[in-house]
Structure 1
């Protein structure tokens, strides 16, 4: 089995587990506090899961072809990911009545956690190639 494929398969399994655990925990906290969101939380997690997976596959592919450019590709992919997120979820993000604190946290927490996960993956990948 290819080394990159094995690394991505393990990453997929770990990412799936973390995503389910985070979503379940956030739903539990929101329901126990009787917080109602004006948007669905599941599409936010699905977007971040797919986008994180695509970013890591892209960086894995670019690092095997052009290792010196992988870091720049990662930075560009982050900007594209944030832009797509704003475009897809603009109705939830830019509501007329504004967002309350639980809604803001429900947007920011998944974004930051998935960003940290892909940063760790891509950082380790780039460091392993330098060694």
Structure 2
């Protein structure tokens, strides 16, 4: 049985509230779970203590049993100092495409020509 430590959504429409649960990976997102190990309330401010609540001992026990956290839960665990999360980023993704770079260069050239003509 493949275990995941993941989020189960609760709360009402446009007011999300998540429980951090240990569940079989084949069970539905909001369906059956083995144990609740914490909660996450994204509606609270990032500096709030009650935004992410974890039962550290339960999480350690389930990690020792082989439960794999999802990416979002892994971020919470890394903030709590329970696990290490490798930084994942793709700096190439944020760069504009070829056409956008050409338009930016053309716009800069026009601005430089206009500045030269004004002098």
State the TM-score, normalizing by the size of structure 1. 0.26
Relative to its length, the structure with more helix (as a share) is 1
State the TM-score, normalizing by the size of structure 2. 0.28
Pick 1 or 2: higher relative contact order, CA cutoff 8 A, min separation 6: 1
Q: Which has the larger radius of gyration?
A: 2
